[in-house]
């Protein structure tokens, strides 16, 4: 599985987030769980669907995608979507996804 990058705005500036394609959709991966590093795999702690959020192609050499708006910290850090935003965000906790990592280290979150 290819790990892409999405640039996301926040109050502190812009940051990069790992992004994967899963079941035909793009998903942000704000945090990885160390699987068994010596065996070379990791899995997302949670994924947030990017597909229906406003985004565009990223900056060449920097990111694959550029998200237009910030993501609320409750969604980002805890996976909690406020009721008024339920139609915008789809969050899946502990998805059944495994990503092989050639170095045996989990993919990095910037």
**DSSP secondary structure, 51-67, as one string:** TTS-EEE--TTT-SEEE
Tell me what the pLDDT averaged over the chain comes to: 85
Residue 76 scores a pLDDT above 70: yes
Query: Could you tell me if 88 and 66 are in contact, meaning their C-beta atoms sit under 8 angstroms apart?
Result: no
Q: How far is CA 3 from the centre of its chain?
A: 9
Radius of gyration over every alpha carbon of the chain, rounded to an integer in angstroms: 14
pLDDT tier, 69 (very low <50, low <70, confident <90, very high otherwise): very high
Q: What pLDDT score does 101 carry?
A: 67
pLDDT tens, 23-57? 999 999 998 886 545 557 788 999 999 988 999 99
Burial class (CB in 10 A: 0-12, 13-18, 19+), 93: exposed
Q: What is the pTM of this model?
A: 0.84
């Amino acid at each position: 599985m290819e790990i892409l990058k999405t640039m996301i705005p926040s109050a502190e500036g812009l940051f990069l987030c790992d992004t994967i394609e899963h079941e035909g959709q793009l998903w942000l991966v704000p945090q990885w769980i160390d699987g068994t590093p010596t065996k070379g795999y990791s899995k997302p702690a949670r994924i947030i669907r990017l597909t229906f959020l406003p985004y565009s192609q990223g900056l060449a050499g920097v990111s694959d995608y550029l998200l237009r708006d910030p993501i609320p910290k409750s969604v980002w850090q805890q996976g909690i979507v406020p009721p008024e935003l339920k139609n915008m965000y789809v969050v899946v906790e502990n998805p059944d996804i495994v990503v092989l990592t050639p170095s045996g280290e989990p993919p990095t979150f910037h």
